[in-house]
Structure 1
Amino acid sequence: MLHKKLLTSLLLVAGVTASLSVPAQAASTYYTTNPGIIRVKKTVIYYKNAARTQKIKAIKKGHYAKISKVVTTGKHPVLKTNTGKYVTANKAFVAKTAGYQNPKKYYQVNYTQIKPYGKVGYTVKRHYEGIKTWKIMRRLGTANGYNQYNQATYNAVKAFQRKHGLKVTGNVNQKTWVKLGFSKSSFKSIDSYVAPLGAHAWNGRSAHIEAMIHQAYKYLGKPYLVGSSSKPIYGTDCSGLVMQALYAGGINPAPISAIHHAYPGNEWNSRNLWASKKFQHVAYRNRQRGDLVFYYQPGTHTIWHVALYLGHNKVIESWPPRIMVQPIKNGQRSNIAGIARVFH
């Protein structure tokens, strides 16, 4: 009799425990506090209202969203996005995340403004290139269609310095720059330009690709200028254009940088980008919008050009005489070394 009563008691306790565990488990399957940023694990529906009676569209796996708050007025909590849409709070469908990011072995995506890498306000010397060299050569009348600080420019700078009582070095520091008629602030602002970030942590892969392309289009029609990678009011060369596009997408390929791009020998940063192991190299047939297209020089087979793939066999590139949209292969350059993927 005692054993029977004990058994009955145990069964009752077990039943109570089981009944309590069901709602506890159910509650744990939903976010009840703001997760901040979510990534969609399975296809979900975006709704216009918290009651989820007005559908907007289906959102596929891999989508990211910023959540403004958790709404608990209905049977189950729902998440309100920063764009005013509503989505399930069910953890089986959405996961809390720090935001969109590349796998660790590739370049990591920055979500704070990328800083200039190198000396801001560098002195311009022989064999330097870039925007400051271009401006100096035009001012002194030594421009020859190739903005490299040549011997003629060096001699012209020395003559200018003698005439204006400056220390005669043949190099252009800030004092000589200002005496040439340029603003003091521009001596550093030209160097320090890094394209602003064009995508957030709660934006997915597509938004980062579009940020790159949007930045590249800001230079459309500007002149091809060797060793240049600065503000959209100026021109660039091929890798200078790509670097600013990368910055806008949140990618910092340091020690390859916009500043160092003007230094002697760094005009071939297309080669350094190609050699980087922090990009994934994919087959040409698998190219996608936002990939980098690298070309080699006929005969030498060395990398000499890089462009940003737009899709539909088009690229945006800086190629003499200017930044333009062109077919991926044309009569000027068609020898493709390979494709590098920026975002995953």
Structure 2
Amino acid sequence: MQKRKYRLIELIILAAFGVFIGVGFGSSIHASSSYYTTNPGIIKTKKAVVYYRDAARKVKDQTVAANHFAKISNVVTTDGKAPVLETNTGRFLTASKQFVVKTTGYQNPKRYYQVQYNQIKPFGKVGYPVKRGFEGIKTWYIMRKMGTFSGYDKYNQATYNAVKRFQRRHHLKVSGNVNEQTWLKMGFSKRAWTGIDRYVAPLKAHAWDGRSAHIEAMIHQAYRYLGNPYLVGSSSSPRYGTDCSGLAIQAMYAGGINPLPVSSIHHAYPGNEWNSRNLWASKKFKHVAYSHRQRGDLVFYYQPGTHVIWHVAIYLGHNRVIESWPPKIMIQSIKNGQRSDVAGVARVFD
């Protein structure tokens, strides 16, 4: 009985000493609560961390700074050694909770627009009829068909009258408005009737990607429109042109931002001609000083001589922006002879 008692005391002392040397002196013995032993899913670094090419962590790959995100595919444990995390890119890093923390992924602060990781669904009716005052791609097609387009795609009185004549000739209900039946009779496709409205830029950044990746997703989408014509009220596929805010809307969709109540579908509706003003007025963007502008920010401009917002562009860095400005979507200096009165800068990704 006495021997068993001494043996128990001995084991307790050895266990305590083992924990001490494991934690205090970096032995292969480790406290499991200090490490991720099951897959945390997505992690963010709390401080600078080294990536390795092998699970034994002998071959260094690179060092990443704090606030770096990664998707974890596996937790690897080797006999007598602390577990390590394997990323979806096949690299390895520490599983120590002192260095990495489990997270749901990159996100803006709650008071700003939240980054979405499911395909964005803009507000509005897909397949809307086109009436007086409407703008956008469908109006552009209709006006060209009716011979009333002269560079500005707004459904005007001349277009309304031309559509009524067309409807009479083809024994359609005479309304002056273009519904799906009139659209099809004009020779346009059923697919285009809804497809133009429905287009939403695909998400190009994941929850395990950081801020920079979201900014690049946004800018990459904007680049897809380069050279397309400036068309008011337009925010659809890169097959077509856009206006300034229409370009910004689709770019933000690609980065995971849905800037409601602004919507690509309603962008063609009367009252949405100046969505640049609605974006500027939103309290869900972080507004920063012009001197603090960064790549991916939205730059807003005043109409000369007024304090009325009339334009928005996407900042690329090095005093360059990508924008839709007559006659086309292009890369320009942040200030030029056409628009130089900067109202301010809004940060999409904080």
> Is TM-score (shorter-chain normalized) higher than 0.5?
yes
Q: 1:130 corresponds to which letter in structure 2?
A: G
**Partner Cα separation in structure 2 for residue 216 and residue 102 of structure 1:** 21
**Partner Cα separation in structure 1 for residue 287 and residue 122 of structure 2:** 27
Aligned residue for 1:71? 76
**Partner Cα separation in structure 2 for residue 39 and residue 243 of structure 1:** 29
Sort the Cα spacing of 1:10 and 1:53 in 2 relative to 1 into closer, same or farther, 3 A: closer
Q: 2:176 corresponds to which letter in structure 1?
A: G
Residue 116 of structure 1 deviates from its aligned partner by: 2.8
| Fraction of identical pairs, as percent | 71
Is the Cα contact below 8 Å between 1:116 and 1:193 reproduced in 2? no
TM-score (norm 2): 0.93
**Partner Cα separation in structure 2 for residue 280 and residue 199 of structure 1:** 20
TM-score (norm 1): 0.95
Match of 2:86 among 80, 84, 90: 80
Aligned residue for 2:150? 144
Aligned residue for 1:249? 255
Residue 115 of structure 1 deviates from its aligned partner by: 1.1
Q: What value does the CA root-mean-square deviation take over the aligned residues?
A: 1.8
Match of 2:39 among 30, 34, 42: 34
Paired residue total = 337
Q: 1:246 corresponds to which letter in structure 2?
A: M
Q: 1:263 corresponds to which letter in structure 2?
A: Y
Match of 1:308 among 299, 310, 314: 314
Residue 28 of structure 1 deviates from its aligned partner by: 1.0
Say whether residues 1:47 and 2:47 are aligned partners: no
Counterpart of 1:272 in 2: which secondary structure?
helix
Residue 18 of structure 1 deviates from its aligned partner by: 3.6
Residue 117 of structure 1 deviates from its aligned partner by: 1.3
Match of 2:340 among 334, 340, 344: 334
Say whether residues 1:234 and 2:240 are aligned partners: yes
**Partner Cα separation in structure 2 for residue 11 and residue 34 of structure 1:** 36
Counterpart of 1:58 in 2: which secondary structure?
strand
Counterpart of 1:266 in 2: which secondary structure?
coil
Is the Cα contact below 8 Å between 2:30 and 2:82 reproduced in 1? no
Counterpart of 1:38 in 2: which secondary structure?
strand
Is the Cα contact below 8 Å between 2:50 and 2:61 reproduced in 1? yes
Q: 1:219 corresponds to which letter in structure 2?
A: Y
| 1:125-182: CA deviation from partner (whole Å, max 9, x where unpaired) | 0010000000000111100110000000000000000000100000000000000000
**Partner Cα separation in structure 2 for residue 261 and residue 318 of structure 1:** 15
| 1:71-130: CA deviation from partner (whole Å, max 9, x where unpaired) | 112611111110111111111111111000000000000000001310100000001000
> Where in structure 1 do 4 or more consecutive aligned residues deviate above 3 Å?
8-25
